[in-house]
Amino acid sequence: MALNWKALAPHRPLDPGEPGYISPPSGYAERLARLLATGASTILVGGPVGVGKSTELARLAALLQGSRVACLVQLDRRENIRQLTPDQLLLRVAGKLVALAIGSLGLQVSPSLAAPLMKAGVLSEKFSSGVESGPISFTASPVALVRAAIGEISRRSTQGRIALLLDGLEKLPQSPQSYEVLASLGQFDDAVDIVAVVPWFVAFGVAEDSLPPGSRFIPLPAPAVDGPAGAAGQQFLFDILAGRLGLPSESFDPAAITGTLGGAERAPLVNAVTERRNLLLAAAKWSGGLPRTFLQLMADAAQYAQIRRGDEWPDERDLADAVADQKDSFRRMLLPGDSAALQRYDGTDGREMELDRKIRLLARGVLLERQLATGYLMDIHPLVRPLLGDGTGA
């Protein structure tokens, strides 16, 4: 079977219910579902680019379907997040919630709710069949519309309680308008659970006054992929790769090669699988545990293999070139003073690092926050570490 390396699609998160989901070692989505079940009502999700936040939010939507009206709102697919206003956020949430109620739950909604949303362009005319007949009794503001949507759907659904899962807000710039957008999360009533992916600056209290009371920031950690604790993280990445390539999960395990093959026939196959596994181990360690980076390294290495030799599987040289490309991408992210700051605070909890610098480096994945039994430590991304102090950094 020819391998379709384009299927890796490193930048494409999985949608709710889509086959191929692999749970990270942290069991992140399941953890959030338990927190909501035990009373948490506003959870703020953070983490570096490519760690899997969108995929985990989609997984959470699937987990909550039995107990909540779980509404995943992928804001960055519909709005320019850098210019997002509170009214745009509220209208988009109301439109998505009504579309879910009509399209997936088979509910009817009032014309006073549906008509303004259609006029605003956040609810398609194709949902007209789910709108009750009758006059439009009022013209509502975005706040009134989203509250009306929550009220109607809470009353008419069998689940009763609504969970709004908001993806894309991590792209908000640090600005007064962004604080207003975050403050709009407090416009939802007590019948709603909120799980929102937010920018890193939220983690450090920058927008604390704008957030709903009782909000909890829970970062999605990149799994360990090195040392004794790295085996689970390595297997997690291997399983993602196997799933996207359409291969059995044991494809990269030499110990799984059994059957009727004799020793002479089995040895070359074991050697080939061992070489592939060693290549994946190297890619996993270079990735820092970030699924997107791991998939990108393998996709780029496979492209080098095809260009050079017409092979469908990369070798060490191909991976080395893919690693060099990613290092160069990281090098371009570094600003004056970053190299010294990274080296100074590597292995610490980072509390003394200049806040703006820390937020920027964490958001871009240059700096990773590792969760240990004793707390959180700052860890320089493996692709960045070789750049420091060699004249190519900042």
Per residue of the chain (394 residues), what is the pLDDT tens digit?
688 999 999 998 888 878 889 999 999 999 999 999 998 889 999 999 999 999 999 999 999 998 999 999 999 999 999 999 999 999 999 999 999 999 999 999 999 999 999 999 999 999 999 998 877 666 689 999 999 999 999 999 999 899 999 999 999 999 999 999 999 998 887 779 999 999 999 999 888 888 888 899 999 999 999 988 899 999 999 999 999 999 998 889 888 776 545 566 777 888 888 999 999 999 999 999 999 999 999 999 999 999 999 999 999 999 999 999 999 999 999 999 999 999 999 999 999 999 999 999 999 999 999 988 788 899 999 999 999 975 444 4
Do residues 256 and 285 both lie within one domain?
A: yes
pLDDT of 139: 65
Structural domains in the chain (count)? 3
pLDDT of 219: 93
Domain of 292? Answer: 228-331
Do residues 173 and 233 both lie within one domain?
A: no
Do residues 244 and 283 both lie within one domain?
A: yes
Do residues 183 and 78 both lie within one domain?
A: yes
CA separation for the pair 90, 73 (Å, rounded)? 11
Do residues 147 and 192 both lie within one domain?
A: yes
pLDDT of 261: 53
Within-domain flag for 21: no
Do residues 183 and 310 both lie within one domain?
A: no
Within-domain flag for 129: yes
pLDDT of 268: 80
Within-domain flag for 271: yes
